A and B are shown apart, each in its own frame.
Chain A
Amino acid sequence: MLDQTEGYTTADGRKIGGVVMEMKNITLRFGGVEAIKDISFDIREGEIRAIIGPNGAGKSSMLNVISGFYVPQDGEVWYKGSRRPPMKPYEIARQGIARTFQNIALFEGMSVLDNVMTGRLTHMHTGIWRQAIWRGKAEAEETANREVAEKIIDFLEIQAIRKTPVARLPYGLKKRVELARALAAEPSLLLLDEPMAGMNVEEKEDMSRFVLDVNDEFGTTIALIEHDMGVVMDLSDRVVVMDYGKKIGDGTPDEVRNNQDVIDAYLGVAHD
Chain B
Amino acid sequence: MLYREAGDFSTTYPEDSQTFPIKFDRWRYYAVLFIAIFVIPFVINDYWVNSIFMPFLIYAIAAIGLNILVGYCGQVSLGTGGFMAVGAYACYKLMTAFPDVSMIFHVLLAGLITAGVGVIFGLPSLRIKGFYLAVATLAAQFFLVWLFNRVSWFYNYSASGQINAPEREVLGVLITGPNTEAWATYLFCLFFTIASAIIARNLTRGSIGRQWMAIRDMDIAAEIIGVNPLKAKLTAFAVSSFFVGISGALFFAVYLGAVEVGEVFGITKSFLVLFMIIIGGLGSIFGSFAGAAFLVLLPVLLKVIGVDLFGWPTDIVAHLNLVVVGGLIVIFLIAEPHGLAQLWRVAKEKLRLWPFPH
Contacts and interface: CB of A to CB of B under 8 A. Distances in A.
Given A109-B283, A138-B202, A139-B14, A121 B226 contact: yes
A48 B106 CA distance: 60
A117 B16 CA distance: 14
A67 B206 contact: no
Interface string A69-94: 10000000000000000001110011
A107 B203 contact: no
Interface stretch (B172-180, B209-217, B250-258): B209-217
B340 to A, nearest CB: 18
A119 to B, nearest CB: 6
A126 B206 contact: yes
B1 interface: no
B41 to A, nearest CB: 27
B224 A89 contact: yes
B228 interface: yes
Contacts, number: 103
A114 interface: yes
A146 B225 CA distance: 17
Contact of B208 (A105, A107, A131, A150): A131
Interface in B195-247: 199, 202-203, 205-208, 210-211, 213-214, 216-218, 220-229, 235, 239
Shortest 3 CB-CB contacts between residues of A and residues of B? A93-B226, A105-B221, A107-B217
B224 A93 contact: yes
A120 B202 CA distance: 18
B217 A108 contact: yes
27 contacts: A67-B224, A69-B224, A90-B223, A90-B226, A93-B225, A94-B226, A98-B225, A101-B221, A105-B218, A107-B217, A107-B222, A110-B217, A118-B210, A119-B225, A121-B211, A121-B214, A121-B225, A122-B225, A126-B207, A131-B203, A132-B199, A134-B202, A139-B14, A142-B17, A142-B207, A143-B13, A143-B14
Contact of B13 (A99, A131, A147): A147
Given A117-B210, A143-B13, A107 B224 contact: no
| Range class of the B interface residue count | 20 to 34
Interface string A128-163: 100111100011011100110010000000000000
| Range class of the A interface residue count | 35 or more
Contacts of B216: 107, 109
Contact of B17 (A98, A110, A146): A146
Contacts of B217: 106-110
Interface string B1-38: 00000000000111001000000000000000000000
Nearest to A132: B199
Contacts of A69: 224
B13 A134 contact: no
A109 B202 contact: no
Nearest to B213: A110
A263 interface: no
B226 A185 contact: yes
B208 A128 contact: yes
Nearest to B216: A109
Given A90-B228, A128-B203, A110 B210 contact: yes
